[in-house]
Amino acid sequence: MHAITRSGWIEVVTGCMFSGKTEELLRRLRRAEIAGQSVAVFSPDVDDRYGETTIGAHSGGRWEARVVPSDGEDVYELFDHLDGEEVVAVDEANFFSNHLVDVCERLAGRRRPARHRRGDRPDVPGRALRAAPPPGGRRGVRR
């Protein structure tokens, strides 16, 4: 959390399959713990590839996680499992509904309602990342 503004930030790790996204998340979690920060990790209920309460990378790294429902507004149950942690990580965000965007913005101290693009259904999993605005609020197009 920023000392002056009392707000946090949102970091998104993206990439194609087998590109090391979860390994990067685990690396950041290890760094946070080394820095003495408290950590909470969450995983969607539909992802049990590495065990019901564990996130894992193909390289073998593992971390204990709290399982939260991924459908609709059930993702707000994530708040019930927080106890003042400084770092909150969500693995496999693509399995969550658009409500995950609102959850992340609230955790970062930005109180805005969840948004979605016109034509997208907020109750359909996998839309959350596409609905989230990039930092600065503009979505650029690379050619």
Using DSSP's 3-state secondary structure scheme, residue 67 falls into strand
Average pLDDT over residues 132-137: 53
Annotated catalytic residues are: 92
Residue from 90, 83, 37, 86 nearest 63 by CA: 90
Contacts of residue 26, Cβ cutoff 8 Å, sequence gap at least 6: 55, 57, 61, 62, 63
Q: Yes or no: say if 131 and 101 are a contact pair by the CB < 8 Å rule.
A: yes
In the chain, how many H helices and how many E strands?
A: 3, 5
Q: Tens digits of per-residue pLDDT, 39-94?
A: 999 988 887 676 677 777 777 777 788 999 988 888 999 999 999 999 999 988 88
